Amino acid sequence: MMPRRKWMLLLGGSLSAGWGHRAAGKSTAAEQAVRPGMPSPKIREVKVIATAPAGLRLAVVKIVTDQPGLYGYGCATFTQRADLVVAAVERYLRPFLIGKPADRIDDTWQACYNSSYWRNGPVLNNALSGVDMALWDIKGRMAGMPVYQLLGGKCREAADCYTHISGKDIPEVIDNARRAMEQGFRHIRVQVGVPGMAAYGSGRGTEVAERLHSSPVFEPAAYLRRALKLLEACRTQLGEEIELLHDVHERITPTQGLQFAKDVEKFRLFFLEDLFSPEDIDYFRIVRHQCATPLAMGELFNSPHEWRPLMAERLIDYIRLHVSQAGGVTPCRKIAALGELFGVRTAWHGPGDVSPIGHAANVALDLACYNFGIQEYSPFSERTQEVFRNCPVQKNGYLYANELPGWGIEVNEAAAAKYPFGFGESGDRKENNGGWGEIRRRDGTIIKQ
């Protein structure tokens, strides 16, 4: 038997011969296939690009590193309280982050999350999301890969998406739906106006309801009667193939919600959204036991802990989170993974009050998460595309990721400055600094929006 010392000498000799070989520049194919890592970048600057090219206040965080040309963008969009998000980033997270490594995403997320002690509010979560997504962008740019690759790569080629269809009356909704179907959409969210009322997701008519105040009016019972007729007309007139979605927007009482979910069961919806407010989620248990209407929830949730009972008891079907509201990609990919364990699928919030950076993050999660369900889509205006180059592309009802490193989006800051917060605003929004006004029942009672 060879003495141990002799083995060590032989091993040492072959190792040093190997290193010498490499040092001479004759590297193996395996060595050549591995890109050398960049040194750890440090955060040098953090700022917010505040812009409203389409009239909605978009907040985008830009993190610049100490390495030349290496920076990233993240979505921090909370349109109704946008100024506060800007302050949270620039007055609190900026001094906390400068000098820290830019390549420790989860660690940085946890550090920022805990640094305010009181946490989990929409302003702080959106600010944190801006930082989180910017760090994912930086890591993608360092790796030379789109972010969906860093999350594991594609589970599908593109994200099937739904578009918003509305009208002042049912025939107008049907006409608009047919146009979207001709463009290739297989999924449509349908909303209809209620005469004299401020219905959600549709224009307000010229009629005025009798009321004891001067605010816009909404009566839950009138809306429910109209919505039921709309869904029946859509299913009858648009055929069996089209997938129908509808957003209640938490505007009705729990028992009205239960009745409505049962009434629409026969129209075989893709999902019914926000049937209850976050305060009333215990009612999902009752609905689940009484009908098979698929349920989407969570656009207003902040904390991942709000999901636990709904997922663990399999009470909902789709996660509707606004990714920046939850704190960015880092918490949302964990929530998606939790959903996968319980058969709950993703349907990230994607209206116009998400910046193109946020839409790119949605698509990255859509492609990389096995339990993807559907993606909400809103078109990018010409002005938005002037500010954000290389937005995700929608074709034939599918949303495609940018194949460039990171989010693949570049922000034209000179163009962004042409459309400051408040651009294009009028009425309530202008008066409320981008915030929403109020909606009341006929007697004056405030309702949830």
Catalytic residues: 200, 249
**Residue closer to Mg ion, measured from CB, 137 or 247:** 247
Q: Which residue has the tokens 């075989």?
A: 268
Distance CA 309, CA 229 (A): 33
**Residue closer to Mg ion, measured from CB, 63 or 190:** 190
Q: Which stretch binds Mg ion (CB under 5 A): 22-30, 247-255, 259-267, 439-447?
A: 247-255
The residue number with the shortest CB distance to Mg ion is: 247
**Residue closer to Mg ion, measured from CB, 247 or 317:** 247
Nearest Cα residue to 241 out of 164, 172, 169, 185: 185
**Residue closer to Mg ion, measured from CB, 132 or 247:** 247
Kind of pairing, strands 187-192 and 375-376? unpaired
Nearest Cα residue to 238 out of 180, 164, 159: 180
**Residue closer to Mg ion, measured from CB, 105 or 347:** 347
Q: Residue 117 CB, nearest distance to Mg ion (Å)? A: 31
Distance CA 159, CA 24 (A): 48
Q: Which stretch binds Mg ion (CB under 5 A): 43-51, 118-126, 244-252, 432-440?
A: 244-252
Give, for 96, the enclosing helix (H) or strand (E). Answer: helix 94-97
Q: Residue 111 CB, nearest distance to Mg ion (Å)? A: 32
Distance CA 21, CA 329 (A): 43
Q: Which stretch binds Mg ion (CB under 5 A): 13-21, 175-183, 246-254, 409-417?
A: 246-254
Q: CA 329 → CA 228, 320, 321, 323, 366, distances in Å?
A: 36, 14, 11, 7, 11
**Residue closer to Mg ion, measured from CB, 132 or 376:** 376
Q: Residue 351 CB, nearest distance to Mg ion (Å)? A: 8
Q: Residue 230 CB, nearest distance to Mg ion (Å)? A: 16
Distance CA 120, CA 34 (A): 40
Residues shown for the chain: 449
Report yes or no: 45 and 66 within 8 Å, Cβ to Cβ: no
Give the one residue of 219, 247, 250, 317 binding Mg ion; rule: CB under 5 A: 247
Q: Which stretch binds Mg ion (CB under 5 A): 124-132, 214-222, 239-247, 326-334?
A: 239-247
Q: CA 324 → CA 153, 285, 357, 385, distances in Å?
A: 22, 28, 10, 20
**Residue closer to Mg ion, measured from CB, 132 or 273:** 273
Q: Residue 189 CB, nearest distance to Mg ion (Å)? A: 9
Task: Give the three-state DSSP class for 73.
Answer: strand
Q: Residue 274 CB, nearest distance to Mg ion (Å)? A: 5
Tell me if 353 contacts Mg ion by CB under 5 A.
no
Nearest Cα residue to 325 out of 341, 307, 344, 345: 307
Q: Which of residues 280-319 bind Mg ion (CB under 5 A)?
A: 299
Nearest Cα residue to 297 out of 279, 321, 314, 263: 321
Q: Residue 327 CB, nearest distance to Mg ion (Å)? A: 19
Residue type, 20: G
Q: Positive or negative, the Cα torsion across 243, 238, 250, 282?
A: negative
Number of residues that bind Mg ion (CB under 5 A): 2
Q: Which stretch binds Mg ion (CB under 5 A): 114-122, 245-253, 276-284, 366-374?
A: 245-253
Residues that bind Mg ion (CB under 5 A): 247, 299
